[in-house]
């Protein structure tokens, strides 16, 4: 797979990189997180992650909790937005739990783009077992944001608001 590149974290090309990644799903700096490691397949335009779930993520005995499945699907769909070099936040998602997702076995989640309309990105993800059976599928809508505005430090936001207020009064 010649067009394979790492897709860790939430950095957007051309924008300041976050110093740390504490994301529950993919954050290497979150000791309590899942630390999922995604890569992008440029040719197929897929975000892919191979993983195994430990007992820590138990729902029904021997199987994953539905919230963990939702997290993995959300991460895969979110990574797809990198193909368009945007950071987009989950607005909504629908999940189909097709078969129980077992613990302790090799699994793969793959995400791809369905459509883009302005700032709205609609993506799809699936979790499959080694036999290629689809265990869970999701569709999600993501809204592209400007990370510099969204994640500006509160003090900087307060200073900007104060400057705007001063401009209005003069």
pLDDT score at 79: 95
66: nearest Cα among 101, 17, 110:
101
Both structure tokens of 95: 């999940």
Residues 148 and 135 sit within 8 Å (Cβ to Cβ): no
State residue 5's pLDDT score.
Answer: 60
> What's the predicted TM-score (pTM) here?
0.80
The pLDDT assigned to 166 comes to 63
pLDDT at 45: 96
Domain residue spans in the chain?
Answer: 4-10+19-169
| Homologous superfamily (CATH) for 4-10+19-169 | Hotdog Thioesterase (3.10.129.10)
Distance CA 11, CA 148 (A): 11
pLDDT digits (tens, 9 = 90+) for 78-107: 999 999 999 999 999 999 999 999 999 999
């Amino acid at each position: 797979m010649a067009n394979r590149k790492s897709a860790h974290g939430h950095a957007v090309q051309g924008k300041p990189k976050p110093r740390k990644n504490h994301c529950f799903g993919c954050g290497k700096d979150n000791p309590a997180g899942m630390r999922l490691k995604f890569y992008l397949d440029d040719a197929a335009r897929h975000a892919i992650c191979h993983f195994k779930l430990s007992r820590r993520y138990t729902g029904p005995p021997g199987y994953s909790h539905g919230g963990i499945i939702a997290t993995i699907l959300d991460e895969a769909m979110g990574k797809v937005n990198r193909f368009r070099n945007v950071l987009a936040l989950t607005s909504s998602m629908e999940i189909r739990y097709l078969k129980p997702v077992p613990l302790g076995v090799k699994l793969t989640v793959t995400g791809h783009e369905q459509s883009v309309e302005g700032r709205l990105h609609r993506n799809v993800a699936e979790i499959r077992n080694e036999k290629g059976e689809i265990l869970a599928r999701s569709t999600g809508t993501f809204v592209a944001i400007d990370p510099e505005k969204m994640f500006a430090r509160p003090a900087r936001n307060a200073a900007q608001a104060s400057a705007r207020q001063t401009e209005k009064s003069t």
